[in-house]
Amino acid sequence: MPPLHPALAANQKSLSDFKEMNFQGFSPDSFEQFIRALALKVIGPGVTIFGNGPDGGREAIFEGKVNFPSPPENIWDGYGVLQAKFKEKLETTQKDQQWAKSQLETELEKWVVNDKREPKPDYFIFCTNVELSSATNGGKDIINQVFKDYEDKIGLKDFAIWDANQLTGYVDGYAEIRQRFECFFTPGDLLAAIAKKLSKAVNRLVKNSFLQPIRPIFSTTRLIQH
């Protein structure tokens, strides 16, 4: 793809520049698709993804060595599962975090009691559009404790949490993912503002392209008159 003209490129912004950026433009299905695409970027081509519908507690899986979470010093080697949970209507911080806790507990309990869910995961990545607070006893501490409560029951070696904050960081770091799903996590009013700016940039580009070839004619005419 050819590079954008400078007049258009100047109007591009990182999604993190928009303070109101969130994931509420997604649906549960499109959020799952987003997580699968992101997993292929973050973890690598060894990820196997599943389509929409009953997934047995898995949006995607991986087996063997993967370049995650912090290669080369720390890499996972085993069977891993990614699970996405999308809250369609966000409420208060406390209610949202309790919802995320309940969703994770329900999923992990299924891995304990359901004999059909085999093999048990060595690694588990919990993905949600809920923002989990990093404060002491906040959302991340709550989710961390849930995982620790189930480590021995399932045999987990390690886990990761992709909440709204972590997902925003990934989106900002992977241009391909950002462009592919931008219509979902950019609010409508911001899209309108971007479209307006883009329209002005295009108008300037067209105007400059039209005037540039005829400017020498005007200059030559002035020289003849003098």
pLDDT digits (tens, 9 = 90+) for 174-199: 999 989 998 886 665 455 556 666 77
* Beta strand 123-128 pairing with 48-49: unpaired
**Residue for token digits 């540039």?**
212
Cis peptide leading into residue 69 (ω within 30°): yes
What pLDDT is attached to residue 188?
Answer: 55
| % of the chain exceeding 90 in pLDDT | 59
Cα–Cα distances (Å) from 7 to 80, 133, 144, 205, 211, in that order, read: 45, 39, 47, 7, 16
Residue 197 confidence (pLDDT): 66
Per-domain boundaries in the chain = 22-185
The pTM score is 0.75
pLDDT of residue 90: 94
What are the tens digits of pLDDT across the range 61-109? 999 999 999 988 999 999 999 999 999 999 999 999 999 999 999 999 9
Indicate the SS3 state at residue 161.
strand
Decide if pLDDT at 8 tops 50: no
Burial (Cβ within 10 Å: 0-12, 13-18, ≥19) of residue 136:
exposed
CA dihedral angle for residue 188, residue 21, residue 53, residue 87, rounded to 10 degrees: -110
Kindly tell me the burial class for residue 163, based on how many C-beta atoms sit within 10 Å of its own C-beta (0-12, 13-18, 19 or more): buried
Q: Which CATH architecture has domain 22-185?
A: 3-Layer(aba) Sandwich (3.40)
Residue 202, SS3 per DSSP = helix
| pLDDT value, residue 58 | 81
Say if residue 20's pLDDT is above 60: no
